[in-house]
Amino acid sequence: MSFLKYVLLSAAFLSSGNALAQNNDHQALQKSIHEWQPTEISINNNIATVVLPGKTLTPDAYEAVITSGICMSIWTKSTPKDFLSDIKLLHVVNMYKSIGFTLENPAATCAEMGKLMDQPAKILLSSKTRVYMPK
C-alpha cells in the first residue's frame, strides 16, 4: 500500500511542478510583451500561443514582438533563467487566430540571436520561423 501512495505522491509532485513552470512562463511572457497588449496568452503541451489585437499580423510586428519583447527579456535577464525552456513552439497570431507566425524553440533561438549582430540575428530568426497554420 505504501508503494501506491509513493507513486501517487510522486505523480502529483511532478504534475504540480510542471504546472508551476508553465505558470511562471505565462507570467513572464505576459510581462515581456505587455506593450503589444496581447488579448490572450496560453501554454498547452509545451506550445505557447500569443494572440495580439488586430486583424492582421505583419512580419515586422512579429519581429518586434520577438526581438524587442520576448528575446529582450532573456538578453537583459529580466525573466527567470529557465524562461520558455520547456516551450517547443511559440505561436504569435492575430485576433482571429487565423494568421501569424510560429517560432521554434524560442529560448534557444533567443539565446543564439543574442550572440549575433543585427543582420545575422534577423536571418537566424527567419530560419526558425514558419507561417502559423491553424488547426
Q: One digit per residue, pLDDT tens: the chain, 135 residues?
A: 565 555 444 555 444 444 444 568 889 899 999 999 999 999 999 999 999 999 999 999 999 999 999 999 999 999 999 999 999 999 999 999 999 999 999 999 999 999 999 999 999 999 999 999 987
Q: Is 113 helix (H, G, I), strand (E, B) or coil?
A: helix
Concatenated DSSP letters for 39-94?
SEEEEETTEEEEE-SSS---HHHHHHIIIIIIIHHHHTT-S-TTTTTT-SEEEEE-
User: What are the backbone angles phi and psi of residue 130, rounded to the nearest 5°?
Assistant: -135, 165
d(CA 32, CA 39): 14
Whole-model pTM: value is: 0.82
